[in-house]
Structure 1
């Protein structure tokens, strides 16, 4: 599992350590200088390569239109999660292929 966020790297690391430390994150990738943020493919290509995966092997869960655009741009399978930031209709309009409700 990995986290891909547009939040600054230091913030992402702190939040993961505080709230999500019990899960086995292989990559936590936040915003860093010199690397374009989501929905650019710069960051998604970096993490896919770091894990030795092809885009077809990635299931991308997200709660925003930016997440769905990121998944589409990277050729990942896009799953919108409706407990977060946007509604099912908005996520589907942005390209969600599946919806997770819980």
Structure 2
């Protein structure tokens, strides 16, 4: 099925390349072509939220290490094999890189 969609996009692109002038609704790029095939009603917005990990001040090596351990164990429990991803602001990132 995926190969068939790629062939359809290739054929569509070849037809568009043969045109003298492109119209505003012509879907030439791969992403635009495939996005036009998806129905917008099927898209359910993701519910997510960025919350602080601790009530306490997190700018200490002990708290960052604890947080990294908790996140690693949680991710391993929920989705074994997935690499945990943690984001920090710049000062905490510097501290976390030293701990890591």
Could you tell me the TM-score, scaled by structure 2's length? 0.31
Higher helix share: 2
Highest Rg: 1 or 2? 2
Could you tell me the TM-score, scaled by structure 1's length? 0.30
Q: Which has the higher contact order (CA 8 A, sep 6+)?
A: 1
